[in-house]
Structure 1
Amino acid sequence: MVMGEQERVEARSNTWWRRRRVLALGTSRWWTRRLLGAFLGAAGMFVIAVVIALVLNLTLMGTQPQYAWDERLMRSSGLLAADVLVLWTLLMLAWAAIGRWWWTTGLVLALVPLVLVAALVKLDERQEPLYPADLAFLSEPGFLFSMVSPVLAVLVLVLVVVIIAAVGGGGEWLTGRRGRPRTRGRELWTVVGVRALVLVVTGLMVVQMGRFNQDGNAWRNLYEERGAQWRPWSQQENYLSNSVVGGFLYNMPTAAMERPEGYSEAAMEDLVDRWQTAADGLNVGREGSFADTNVVVVLSESFSDPTQLEGLDIPEDPIPLTRETMAGTTAGTMLATGIGGGTANAEFEVLTGEHLGLFAPQMVVPYQMLVPNFATYPSLVGTLRTEGHRAVAVHPYLAGMYKRPSVYETFGFDEFVTEDDMRFTDRTDENPYIDDTAAFDEVLAQIEDSDAPLVTNLVTMQNHAQYGNKYDDRPEVGTDGFTLGPSFTLALGDYVRGISDTDAALRDFLDALEESDEDTVVLFYGDHLPGFYGDSFRRLNGDIAMHSTPFFAWSNRGNVPRDAGVSSSALLMPYLYDVADAPLPPYLALLRTFHERVGSVFQGQIVTPEGEVVAEDDLDEEQQRLLQDLRLVQYDVAVGERYVTDEIWPGSTGEQD
């Protein structure tokens, strides 16, 4: 029977409706599965954020047995919620960028052990938490791996690979077997649009995280509304009290200093006039100069005097020759900026005369966060270059640490000599670092090769961590009243042997300079104590002792014994001028006077030259004025308009008239 025209039309119409119903049903199922998947994915990311926040905070609290972690966690529940929101935002951003839930989860979970190991190693070695500025060390993997044992490094890397493969690859395989909603046409563009929207929203939220320290920042308000009370005088306490993520965000970049009260061009000009007059008075009778004098500044890695610490049993003095040198020249005790670390900060303070304690607490490493932002930065190097010196930096290690190439260029160094360029590269026993004898020989060779007087900044490496497997013949050392196990004894023995080698190498270096027909002055200091001392030693000895290292200023043309007392690294530069009998510029006259009449700025306190700690509020009117002058000059250089840089420290930027 032949179908009529009317029947054919009805058949086509029924077929069209059936296809529409099938298409609508498929689309509905696609949207249902997509919406359900997105909801479950976001919920899963939230759960992961909660787990990571708990792990990070409980791990840090677990390193501090004096705190009851469960009680503190309950008190910090609001801050923990803020941590979760921050982490969830970061996870959603990563998921939108990568586009695969399982691979995103695998990568994120693999980062957790890396972060934990890095945080625990830094806490153990330096008693500091991780900072945003530490991300710069990712460009120096050799240095990072040197801070952990090879076995631990391999285990962590294997764990990372396993987590990524198991979570990312395993999850993708499982979901692939069940099948995914297919996307094409308008559905594909819808997915792309949603991902782009999530990327934009979470990206803007992450940008605001980076601006955490700006006025009115929403993230900072979130933490403060939940009870955050920032503790800039102790970053470790800051993280413990305000959560790990909150403490990390608090250290996001910010202005180097707050504008001091009364800062203006007129005020700075008045300040220069006063300190020029003061310098003129201090310079009466000074007849020397640096015109034909070599200047050597030696930062001795981890060099300290362990015989000054209670609780150690060290039968023989490991640094007798250094002690003898100190007794015959200008010498004293330097307050280090950290324990087990802070090398670049000590170097910055010595070369610039600026105090880390006067900067904002977030300015944890000026070498990374401040100096590279300038074309020139006032320093001892610039001053001596304007007097005709050639400037050479020597560091027997990797070139890129703490952005030194950029920093040294800003300071005005003519050459940067690293382990790849040195002519002397001897190492002692199993020590992976170039020894101090080779480092000093390199400086002597640089002086010999230079027709112009030389200013050399040497940063040594022999006594850098790790300790315990460097030397074959460690001295017999131990503890007095403590039982810390064989690993501590090995570390202490290694350390004592290392500084004993430094002591002998330093004496040979000074002897060689004495035999030279060129005038040379030397500033020598230890940058910090090693980081292997435990909490028991720190509590027994106190903050001042645990931050005290030796320093001296010396000339190969004769010295006068002088006890300089307790000083900070920012206040050492004038002693170079003393042993050279050179006139002080106004800025160094301010540093000298501040040290003599006030003391040193240390961890938010003032430490007198006699080693007594006083609060800033207890300073008298004259001392308050000196501190204010110091703040004004430092602000003018680091943040302000540099109204008087050339007047208060002529030539310090290396620019000649």
Structure 2
Amino acid sequence: MSEAHHKKTVRRNSAMREMEKPVFTGPAHHGIRSNRYQKPQLNWFVYIIISISLIFCSTLFAQWGVLAKPEYPTGAQIDPETMFNDSLRGQLLHFVTQMWTDHDFKFLLNFMVLSLIFIVLLLIINRFWICVAIFSSVIIVYAIANHFKVQLRNEPIIPADLNFISGGNTKQIVSFIPPNGISIAIGGVCGLVAIILFCILLQCTDGRKGLIRCSWRKPALMAKSNLKRIVTRFISLIVIAGFLFSFVYSLGNKNSWGQQLADGIADDPQIWNSIGDARSNGAPMAFLRLVHTNTMDKPHGYNKTTMLALSEKYQSEASRINRQRSTNLTDNTVIMILSESYSDPTRVPGISFNQDPMPNIRDIKSQTTSGLMLSPGYGGGTANIEYQALTGLSLANYDSSLSVPYQQLVPKQKWAPSFNQIWNAKRPADGSFALHTYYRNMYSRADDYRKFKFSKFWAMDGKYKLTDINPIDSSWYASDTSTYNAIVDKLGQYHDDSKQFVQVATMQNHSPYDNWYNDNEFKDADTSTGITDDERKNIETYAKGVSYTDSATADFLNKLDQMDRPITVIFYGDHLPGIYETAEKNPSNALALHETDYFIWSNAASASSHEKASQSNYTSSNYFMAQASEHMNAKVSPYLAFLTDMHAAVPAMSVPAASGNANEDNVYLDDNGKKMDIHKLPQSTRTLLEDYRFIQYDISVGKNYLRDTNFMDVPLK
């Protein structure tokens, strides 16, 4: 053996012996152990106490984010005990103490889930104080974001909202911070910075650099004790992370082991009532159950033969309908306007004014196809109603864990048919365009509109950027007048003989409603009863916004009347604003809080001017294009023929939340707005509903058998 090799062997053996030495020597003093080789190290018991305290506080803070302060009517006499129980502190205290008072362990379930997440993070990073800093930061941001979203839209953060950040929408999201939330945001940032700096300081002074002491340097890497620690760390990580992943992945699926385990402890899911789910079952659990979603169950008997038979069936139905129709959809420009949060506030129980906030639209509705639309959302969910209108697909057919198709489904689809593509078939270059007076990446619209094959998407940013867009007084969002002017401007860029499909989403009446408008006559006109002062302020501001929309819409239609080309407008409110707290407390008001206004109107150059289609009192947004086809006496595709028959049988349909009870069946309404009992429907209607599920499954997650048929094709000249 050479001398050099001998020296190398001695050094390696010395290093291995050094690794085998005990980590700690000497006595312990006040939870600190030390030796001459290392900085002071905390006792393991201290780490455990800190971890438990951190997760306990994190569970409470996450829950705080979805709670709301109680609002009482002016002059109401509330006893001190009730006031405390309804306060944020009282609600948080009940969330913890119900383990002993009610044997309800929801707090413990959320604590356990956050503990597993913390342990997995700790095993990955292997640096205790860095892990504490990261975990605390995430919880603080999550809780404060929840607090703001609940204030604005009465719904918590869901996994799909993370697409806003990944899509570069951080700046836009920050703009949603309400004025009274600035101090909370600043406090959160300061607290976040303080925690991070404190953890960095402790990481630098704590001698225990790795919670599980592992060395990755040779020759210590191959030491037996070091290998044992590495293997222990990774086995622990795989086992715990695997359990957590499997639990979360299965949590949103009915009858899965994860759901059964959670239910056995305390969980009581309220899928369609997201805010109720978060407040009752805990914010972390409500969030995690939506991480993995099941789009919809495969219908029994789904196969190519079944779908080809359905295509032929509705081809025959389309031929029957088209024998009675004289025009084509593409003979008209169709403008589909989603009016943000638009609805008649006086239909809400307890809300009234001695001045009508929407006289013009009320008059328009009386002269054309119009009625009420059953919305799946209240206070939010704009993209869902828009999705239904553009595709004809209904959220009622999807699994309850699919909360936002725009973000959870459309980006993954290989085939995404939408009604604007009917115009694209005749004018591939410019058959359809979209316009939204806000930022293009909200709800992943930019990506989804490309998937839907819109030729252009005009928004407040990006390549096709809108100009001359202004708010009203001190409001935050673009006025409807600005939006309508932009539509007229874009239509003016085309020849009079060109026809397009135009998708529009407004922003004027988006929350919050913080006394934006000068000279608001609805403050004096308000005769509402039994509501809180905060409600009254919000409702009065909202009513003024509705009034502005009313006059702007009338002016817009007058301008369209002057154009020498047939134009049809589908106008609808997507959902009610989440400002009716008193009415919302009464479950019997659920339907009223899910009904918005809509109309289908044609200008003077159109043969369908002043037409009023049959059975239009109630609808849901998935039927709009079928109704517009009837209104314009236009020929239909097999798909539109199916939707026409479906609307005749079930005029309106929505998710269980529209009934006020997430555990009930889907909501089906007749043309008088009365609930239809699905168990008492005639066989022909049940067959239509079954066909709907086959069609929707094939388009959404199935084999797309209908794609190679003429199911979506309409007659073209």
Sort the Cα spacing of 1:55 and 1:181 in 2 relative to 1 into closer, same or farther, 3 A: closer
* Equivalent residue in structure 1 for 2:700, among 612, 615, 638: 638
RMSD, matched Cα: 3.4
* Equivalent residue in structure 2 for 1:208, among 246, 249, 255: 246
Sort the Cα spacing of 1:219 and 1:516 in 2 relative to 1 into closer, same or farther, 3 A: same
1:649 Cα deviation (Å)?
Answer: 3.3
Q: Which residue of 1 aligns with 2:528?
A: 480
Contact 1:475 1:496 in 2 (8 A): no
Which moved further from structure 2: 349-358 or 224-233?
224-233
Q: Which residue of 2 aligns with 1:450?
A: 494
Q: Which residue of 2 aligns with 1:29?
A: 25
Instruction: Tell me if 1:422 matches 2:466.
Output: yes
Other structure's SS at 1:611 match: coil
For residues 392 and 421 of structure 2, the distance between their equivalents in structure 1, rounded to whole angstroms, comes to 13
Q: Which residue of 2 aligns with 1:620?
A: 682
1:643 Cα deviation (Å)?
Answer: 1.3
For residues 16 and 568 of structure 2, the distance between their equivalents in structure 1, rounded to whole angstroms, comes to 92
Sort the Cα spacing of 1:244 and 1:152 in 2 relative to 1 into closer, same or farther, 3 A: closer
**CA offsets 1:292-315 (integer angstroms, 9 cap, x no match):** 321111001111111222212312
Which moved further from structure 2: 325-334 or 253-262?
253-262
* Equivalent residue in structure 2 for 1:384, among 409, 417, 423: 423
Task: Give the counterpart letter for 1:267 in structure 2.
Answer: T
Other structure's SS at 1:564 match: coil
Q: Which residue of 2 aligns with 1:552?
A: 599
Instruction: Tell me if 1:275 matches 2:314.
Output: yes
For residues 216 and 613 of structure 1, the distance between their equivalents in structure 2, rounded to whole angstroms, comes to 29
Contact 1:111 1:160 in 2 (8 A): no
Q: Which residue of 2 aligns with 1:252?
A: 291
* Equivalent residue in structure 2 for 1:367, among 384, 397, 406: 406
Sort the Cα spacing of 1:515 and 1:42 in 2 relative to 1 into closer, same or farther, 3 A: same
For residues 685 and 301 of structure 2, the distance between their equivalents in structure 1, rounded to whole angstroms, comes to 17
Instruction: Tell me if 1:266 matches 2:305.
Output: yes
Task: Give the counterpart letter for 2:610 in structure 1.
Answer: N
Q: Which residue of 2 aligns with 1:45?
A: 51
Q: How does 1:429-440 map to 2 (within 5 A)?
A: 429-440=473-484
Contact 2:104 2:266 in 1 (8 A): no
1:288 Cα deviation (Å)?
Answer: 0.8
Sort the Cα spacing of 1:638 and 1:474 in 2 relative to 1 into closer, same or farther, 3 A: same
Q: Which residue of 2 aligns with 1:105?
A: 132
Q: Which residue of 2 aligns with 1:496?
A: 543
Sort the Cα spacing of 1:387 and 1:273 in 2 relative to 1 into closer, same or farther, 3 A: same
For residues 527 and 133 of structure 2, the distance between their equivalents in structure 1, rounded to whole angstroms, comes to 46
Task: Give the counterpart letter for 2:441 in structure 1.
Answer: G
Sort the Cα spacing of 1:73 and 1:598 in 2 relative to 1 into closer, same or farther, 3 A: farther
Q: Percent identity?
A: 26
For residues 648 and 619 of structure 1, the distance between their equivalents in structure 2, rounded to whole angstroms, comes to 30
Q: Which blocks of at least 5 consecutive residues in structure 2 are unaligned?
A: 1-14, 71-84, 657-665
1:233 Cα deviation (Å)?
Answer: 4.3
* Equivalent residue in structure 2 for 1:137, among 158, 161, 164: 164
1:576 Cα deviation (Å)?
Answer: 1.6
* Equivalent residue in structure 2 for 1:579, among 631, 647, 650: 631
Which moved further from structure 2: 287-296 or 219-228?
219-228
* Equivalent residue in structure 2 for 1:315, among 347, 350, 354: 354
Task: Give the counterpart letter for 1:115 in structure 2.
Answer: Y
1:634 Cα deviation (Å)?
Answer: 0.5
Instruction: Tell me if 1:588 matches 2:640.
Output: yes
* Equivalent residue in structure 2 for 1:396, among 437, 441, 444: 437
Sort the Cα spacing of 1:144 and 1:646 in 2 relative to 1 into closer, same or farther, 3 A: same
Length-normalised TM-score, structure 2: 0.80
Q: Which blocks of at least 5 consecutive residues in structure 1 are unaligned?
A: 1-18
Contact 2:253 2:294 in 1 (8 A): no
For residues 403 and 393 of structure 1, the distance between their equivalents in structure 2, rounded to whole angstroms, comes to 14
For residues 265 and 22 of structure 1, the distance between their equivalents in structure 2, rounded to whole angstroms, comes to 69
Contact 1:309 1:541 in 2 (8 A): no
Q: Which residue of 2 aligns with 1:93?
A: 120
Contact 1:376 1:412 in 2 (8 A): no
Which moved further from structure 2: 444-453 or 392-401?
444-453
Contact 1:396 1:460 in 2 (8 A): yes
Instruction: Tell me if 1:156 matches 2:185.
Output: yes
Sort the Cα spacing of 1:649 and 1:444 in 2 relative to 1 into closer, same or farther, 3 A: farther
Q: Which residue of 2 aligns with 1:7?
A: none
For residues 209 and 413 of structure 2, the distance between their equivalents in structure 1, rounded to whole angstroms, comes to 54
**CA offsets 1:309-335 (integer angstroms, 9 cap, x no match):** 221231211111111111111111001
1:358 Cα deviation (Å)?
Answer: 0.9
Other structure's SS at 2:555 match: helix
Q: How does 1:222-233 map to 2 (within 5 A)?
A: 222-233=261-272
Instruction: Tell me if 1:461 matches 2:507.
Output: yes
For residues 17 and 460 of structure 2, the distance between their equivalents in structure 1, rounded to whole angstroms, comes to 75
1:639 Cα deviation (Å)?
Answer: 1.2
Q: Which residue of 2 aligns with 1:170?
A: 198
For residues 114 and 554 of structure 1, the distance between their equivalents in structure 2, rounded to whole angstroms, comes to 46
Q: Which has the higher helix share?
A: 1
For residues 694 and 206 of structure 2, the distance between their equivalents in structure 1, rounded to whole angstroms, comes to 68
Sort the Cα spacing of 1:235 and 1:155 in 2 relative to 1 into closer, same or farther, 3 A: closer
Which moved further from structure 2: 638-647 or 623-632?
638-647
Contact 2:620 2:653 in 1 (8 A): yes
**CA offsets 1:5-41 (integer angstroms, 9 cap, x no match):** xxxxxxxxxxxxxx99999766453998799755643
For residues 149 and 206 of structure 2, the distance between their equivalents in structure 1, rounded to whole angstroms, comes to 45
For residues 246 and 19 of structure 2, the distance between their equivalents in structure 1, rounded to whole angstroms, comes to 44
For residues 147 and 568 of structure 1, the distance between their equivalents in structure 2, rounded to whole angstroms, comes to 28
Instruction: Tell me if 1:405 matches 2:449.
Output: no
* Equivalent residue in structure 1 for 2:367, among 313, 328, 333: 328
Contact 1:76 1:242 in 2 (8 A): no
Task: Give the counterpart letter for 2:521 in structure 1.
Answer: P
Sort the Cα spacing of 1:379 and 1:180 in 2 relative to 1 into closer, same or farther, 3 A: closer
Task: Give the counterpart letter for 2:287 in structure 1.
Answer: F
Sort the Cα spacing of 1:161 and 1:104 in 2 relative to 1 into closer, same or farther, 3 A: farther
Contact 1:376 1:411 in 2 (8 A): no
For residues 330 and 473 of structure 2, the distance between their equivalents in structure 1, rounded to whole angstroms, comes to 41
1:202 Cα deviation (Å)?
Answer: 4.5
Q: Which residue of 2 aligns with 1:565?
A: 617
1:636 Cα deviation (Å)?
Answer: 0.9
1:469 Cα deviation (Å)?
Answer: 3.4
For residues 22 and 628 of structure 1, the distance between their equivalents in structure 2, rounded to whole angstroms, comes to 72
Length-normalised TM-score, structure 1: 0.87
Instruction: Tell me if 1:531 matches 2:578.
Output: yes
For residues 587 and 334 of structure 2, the distance between their equivalents in structure 1, rounded to whole angstroms, comes to 38
Which moved further from structure 2: 421-430 or 505-514?
421-430
Q: How does 1:598-613 map to 2 (within 5 A)?
A: 598-602=650-654, 603=656, 604-613=666-675
**CA offsets 1:206-233 (integer angstroms, 9 cap, x no match):** 5335522468966444313325344434
Other structure's SS at 1:449 match: coil
For residues 303 and 450 of structure 2, the distance between their equivalents in structure 1, rounded to whole angstroms, comes to 30
For residues 440 and 481 of structure 1, the distance between their equivalents in structure 2, rounded to whole angstroms, comes to 35
1:577 Cα deviation (Å)?
Answer: 1.0
Sort the Cα spacing of 1:631 and 1:217 in 2 relative to 1 into closer, same or farther, 3 A: closer
Which moved further from structure 2: 128-137 or 312-321?
128-137
Aligned length: 634
Other structure's SS at 2:396 match: helix
* Equivalent residue in structure 1 for 2:108, among 64, 81, 106: 81
Task: Give the counterpart letter for 2:135 in structure 1.
Answer: V
* Equivalent residue in structure 1 for 2:563, among 516, 519, 540: 516
Task: Give the counterpart letter for 2:246 in structure 1.
Answer: Q
**CA offsets 1:472-497 (integer angstroms, 9 cap, x no match):** 12123435322411x33332222111
Which moved further from structure 2: 207-216 or 152-161?
207-216
Which moved further from structure 2: 112-121 or 85-94?
112-121
Instruction: Tell me if 1:649 matches 2:711.
Output: yes
